[in-house]
Amino acid sequence: MIDAEERQQLINAMLDKLEHGNAAERRAAAYWLGEAAAGDAVDELIKTYHDDDNKSVRAAAAYALGMFRAVDKALKAGREEQVVERLRQVEEEGKLGGRAPVGRWMRRIFGLLLSLLIIGGLYLVRDNLRVLVFPSLAQDRLSLVSSLQQQFTPIKNDVTTLQNQFVNVVINGGQLDCTAFFNEPPPVAALSNVDSLAYADLAEMVTRMNGVHNSLLATKAVYNEACFGSTPLTRESAGEVYRDFVPTITTIGELESALNVTQQNAPTATPEPPTAAPVTETPVPPTAAPTSAAPTAAPIEATSVPQLDPTAAAQANPGRHVGNLYVIVETATGLNGPSSLLLRYWTDVKQSGATGGCTAPAPAIPENYAVLPEIDLQVSVQLRQAVTLINNGLGALRSGWHDFQTACTNGTLVASADNGFNWALNTQTSFQSARPLLDIVRAQWP
């Protein structure tokens, strides 16, 4: 009986014939490797089955691969002695018996299984193949971007309206305007499978847009309950809602910027197929501007980008303001900045009932930042939002320090602690929310 080394030498010899022999040698090697259950040969037999230019050699490879399955089934059925004896005969005596009927059926079964695998694979990648073979099946990219902008605009405007409402309550100390107009838009329609495969970045935008839509619905529910339900909105509860809403506001700016960049970089639109329905633009009613209770805090502007003069836009440089705005944020929120001190003093009052802040000198508060030239605001949504958040924070900071000093004078610190603390916390949040927007401006306009 041959040992393991001799068996491996036989297998190697047959593998060599399978790769380099003539058609007859390749066919015989495939049969031998299959009936000998030479596991080392599986990859080569698969390659032979797919690539050999001789039909009979391919058939022998299919038979051989089928034999591996037959040996496996026999072993599982408890016929180890028969399998071992059969392999001994193949290796020592070169007997290849019973191949005709078994090989024919195994080839049919293997062919059927292979066909099923191919069909299943094609089903899984059918859209990919459609895009590769028929790229015109995907819609024109510029048309898709335009459609996304059209669907996203009312969502964006409703977010801005809600933002204005909560700023008016939290920072300006005003009330909700329960007559404010809302578009009540539906979610952004998902792209078709083919369009999603062709434009993965647009599909990801749709997902983020609908994340904004979900946040809008949740925040609008709080607004509705405060206006038309039985749960009034206090400054403290409005502050909590506003803080949770800030990431949505930031995402709005990121999406708007991405859409604008995508539109600018999109190739020239190709004609739509005759059957494609034209996109009808639905006019969006303007968002009502709420009445601000304090003149120091300007309402946050809508994030829509106006039509720009190309010559003026070419001279814009939003990045020139980032350094100065970072300085304002750091000055306000640093360890001894007016925003940090105000929050610290009210924290002392909440914890101990007293604070040394009443006898400490009031820190200087920076002036509101004015962006000149204004074209810089028009070309950068993020700069516009960051400046608004910072200036709102500065206005709230002045009001907060006035309230703190009044409470010190009147001896009402403890009674005013909760309101003062939440006011200071929301002021700090306004500055902190501007940071990621400034980071985006700095990255886009270095």
Res. 437: pLDDT tops 70: yes
Structure tokens at 178: 């329960």
Among 91, 17, 94, residue whose Cα is nearest residue 57:
17
Average pLDDT over residues 160-171: 79
Q: Is 235 buried (19+), middle (13-18) or exposed (0-12) by CB count in 10 A?
A: middle
* CA-derived radius of gyration, the chain: 36
Tell which wins on pLDDT, 184 or 297. 184
Among 165, 189, 167, residue whose Cα is nearest residue 177:
165
Query: Confidence band (pLDDT; 50, 70, 90) for 258?
Result: confident
Query: Confidence band (pLDDT; 50, 70, 90) for 291?
Result: very low
Average pLDDT over residues 385-391: 88
Range with the lowest mean pLDDT among 143-152, 266-275, 311-320, 421-430? Answer: 266-275
φ, ψ of residue 184 in degrees (nearest 5): 50, 55
Distance, in Å, from the CA atom of 193 to the CA atom of 131, rounded to the nearest integer, reads 10
Range with the lowest mean pLDDT among 75-84, 86-95, 224-233, 276-285? Answer: 276-285
Question: pLDDT digit string (tens) for 71-112?
Answer: 555 545 555 555 455 545 544 444 444 444 444 445 555 555
φ, ψ of residue 254 in degrees (nearest 5): -65, -45
What confidence score (pLDDT) does residue 354 get? 92
Question: pLDDT digit string (tens) for 293-339?
Answer: 333 333 444 444 445 567 777 888 999 999 999 999 999 998 889 99
What confidence score (pLDDT) does residue 129 get? 46
What confidence score (pLDDT) does residue 445 get? 86
Average pLDDT over residues 406-433: 88
Distance, in Å, from the CA atom of 303 to the CA atom of 162, rounded to the nearest integer, reads 13
Distance, in Å, from the CA atom of 212 to the CA atom of 82, rounded to the nearest integer, reads 68
Identify which of 9-23, 303-317, 341-355 has the greatest average pLDDT. 341-355
Tell which wins on pLDDT, 337 or 4. 337
What confidence score (pLDDT) does residue 321 get? 93
Token pair 């009031």 is found at 362
Distance, in Å, from the CA atom of 289 to the CA atom of 157, rounded to the nearest integer, reads 11
What confidence score (pLDDT) does residue 409 get? 93
Please, what sign has the CA dihedral across residues 50, 51, 53, 59? negative
Tell which wins on pLDDT, 250 or 69. 250
Distance, in Å, from the CA atom of 398 to the CA atom of 77, rounded to the nearest integer, reads 86
* 150 Cβ contact list (under 8 Å, min separation 6): 279, 281, 282
Res. 274: pLDDT tops 50: no
What confidence score (pLDDT) does residue 290 get? 37
Contact status, residue 261 vs residue 445, Cβ threshold 8 Å: no
Question: pLDDT digit string (tens) for 113-147?
Answer: 555 555 555 454 444 544 444 444 567 888 888 88
